[in-house]
Structure 1
């Protein structure tokens, strides 16, 4: 995913206490918006331009309904059994912008924690340890940072909060050991739907952390540089029975490729929902996850097939700029064993680079190209379209492009879709909508359609009929387009 920094080349630099949105010249992903070729889809709000920092801030917040829980401060990655540790957290949108004004005052969210360890079928509840939580009481100086004391762990009338946690051995024999070897675990922090519940946010997974039975010289040095962790992950629930999850590590300080942007959340959920109901949908297909960023979309698809339909595994190639591939490789190794290597490849691909494109195209015709949040920099539009054209085969290749309006002007959007329309059929993916220019394989399976629950897999379980006081989590502003190459 390449969106390396703020999504608009002329946007003011924005910073928060939890992260910095960086500027980058790399050709990559998103800063899109939510309009599309059909003029009827545009709204007066979409056409507005901004002239002040305040107005621009509001534009960036407009479609912020998929909030995230993030670390506000680094935490120690070495924890002692039966000792309380405080984790400082915040609620932000995909750009790292904090809640402000009335939104912050409406933020009430109780949190729960569980401990995860890696198992053969994903990350599951640790059988040896569990986590106790409690509300936090703050000193006077801490309340100046917007923190509000509460009787429950989480957020209370503020977008800044904390949770006090303590790791306790599930079995007494574990805690009785004189020396317990370090055990790497992950802390899964997620909202609880109990009063006073006001809205939802993507759960946060922190780790790995090491658990020790008693303090040692290493764990006593909690302020050492090697003892402080900023590692944040997102979790997708693979199985509601076992509550096993798939993890993706983010690297917010890495800029665009280090984040899971909203379009990736929506597109991955759309595809997974389809696969679960129709596993033959992508059976043995050749897929490219273009400018994959964290690798969340392509790796999640691979995880679903490996877990439930191993005999139907597609061939997936995840691409991005050379300097961004290490995060994809990390997330691949985090979730898979070496036996996945034959089906999942990670390759460099810079838009417009003939050598990169030719190398990938020579591997065989592509059935599906996934492109989430790649429309953000007008100066790169022609190179992006050129790359899509080179990788596409008429009558076979289908492109699903996720796009969200954040800062591009209407004329910039028109420019991109005009470039695409010269050689591609373009349609907006909606519920029960048929399109032109099917790929042969897609004609057999039927094209992808939208669902009101798109994106919910990353959110956890949202109670039926419940919406947030800050908005409906499914109203993301993300639009998904379907492109197929015309037959000349």
Structure 2
């Protein structure tokens, strides 16, 4: 863990007494890529600060299948640290990373920290604010893939997320959703009652040890 204090600060850096946040940089090797992901811990970011296991599972799934990412138009919802979308961009996708405004600085930092020496295969990921159910109409429906990692944990957001997914997938985008199956957060309820009401849903990967499912979904045409 690294505090934001400078080395010549009169207060001990390891105390972190006067800093609102601290950060931790971790190197992940995923999809043949080495990613340095910063997690900024503090009261503002909350769950968006962390690299969750479901995100790493989705990264590995995209690598192992493999899912063709070259030139694909990809949007990630609730991107947090951006590890899934950044990996997709490193593998050739045209990526838009979205989250609430407070998470955008961390996202942009991670995009900058992971610029390949030879440059991005297509373009750097775009970082934009997106509040589900409120401003999704500002985004097009012309995506190939919508990526979601561990964003199913607040029941009050489920109707808003469904509105957003339906809008983004109007023109045939495929959703990949990776989630820890938390009964206390009614995660199975979202999948059974919300997602399957409007999408054709397929379970494509299950990790019993971590209790993480990965789903592929397509918007119903009827």
Same fold (TM over 0.5): yes
- State the aligned residue count: 215
Q: 8 Å contact 2:182–2:188 — kept in the other structure?
A: no
RMSD, aligned CA: 3.2
Residues 209-261 of structure 1 show CA distances to partners (whole Å, capped at 9, x for unaligned) of xxxxxxxxx38x56166999942122112698xxx831000123231111111
Residue 379 of structure 1 pairs with residue 171 of structure 2: no
Instruction: Describe the shift of the 1:335–1:227 C-alpha distance in structure 2 as closer, same or farther (beyond 3 A).
Output: farther
Q: Report what 2:63 is aligned to.
A: 272
Aligned mate of 1:424, from 199, 204, 208: 199
SS in 2 for 1:346: strand
- Matching residue of 1:477: 211
TM-score, length of structure 1 as denominator length: 0.40
Q: Is the 8 A contact 2:79 2:85 kept in 1?
A: yes
What secondary structure does 2:87 align onto?
A: helix
Query: C-alpha separation between the residues in 2 aligned to 1:403 and 1:292?
Result: 13
Partner residue, 1:349: 130
Aligned partner of 1:200 in structure 2 is none
Aligned to 1:250: 39
Equivalent-residue separation in structure 2 for 1:332 and 1:75 (angstroms): 19
Query: Structure 2 CA distance, aligned partners of 1:478 and 1:375?
Result: 12
Structure 1 stretches lacking a partner, 5+ long: 1-70, 79-217, 306-312, 431-449, 453-473
| 1:109 alignment counterpart | none
Superposition pairs of residues 241-390 of structure 1, within 5 angstroms: 245-253=34-42, 254-275=45-66, 281-303=68-90, 305=91, 313-336=92-115, 340=120, 342-353=123-134, 356-361=135-140, 365-390=142-167
Instruction: Name the CA distance, whole Å, in 1 between partners of 2:215 and 2:116.
Output: 33
Query: Which ranges in structure 2 are unaligned for 5 or more consecutive residues?
Result: none
Which structure has the larger Rg? 1
Partner of residue 26 from structure 2, selected from 217, 234, 239? 234
Q: Which stretch of structure 1 is more off in the superposition, 342-351 or 229-238?
A: 229-238
TM-score, normalising length: structure 2? 0.82
Structure 2 distance, partners of 1:323, 1:370, is 20
Shift of 1:478: 0.8
Q: Contact 1:381–1:416 at 8 Å: present in 2 too?
A: no
Name which structure has the greater RCO, CA cutoff 8 Å, separation 6+: 1
| TM alignment of 1:124-143, pairs within 5 A | none
Change beyond 3 A, Cα 1:409–1:314: closer
Note if contact 2:23-2:41 (Cα within 8 Å) is conserved in structure 1.
Answer: no
